[in-house]
Amino acid sequence: KYSQKLPSDDSSSNSSAGPSATGNNEQDDKEDKESKKKKNRCAVCRKKVGLTGFECRCGGLYCAIHRYSDKHDCTFDYREHGAQEIRRNNPVVVGEKIQKI
Q: Is residue 26 part of a domain?
A: no
Of 63, 71, 65, the closest CA to residue 43 belongs to 63
Query: At residue 84, does pLDDT exceed 90?
Result: yes
Give how many domains the chain has, as a whole number: 1
pLDDT tens digits, residue range 21-36?
A: 455 566 666 666 665 5
pLDDT tens digits, residue range 67-79?
A: 988 888 888 999 9
What is the value of pTM for the model shown?
A: 0.47
Q: Average pLDDT in the 81-92 region?
A: 92
Q: Is residue 19 part of a domain?
A: no
Domain that holds residue 51: 38-87
CA distance 35 to 58: 17
CATH code of the domain in which 67 resides: 4.10.1110.10
Residues 6+ apart with CB under 8 A from 76: 56, 57, 58, 69
Q: Is residue 98 part of a domain?
A: no
Q: Is residue 92 part of a domain?
A: no
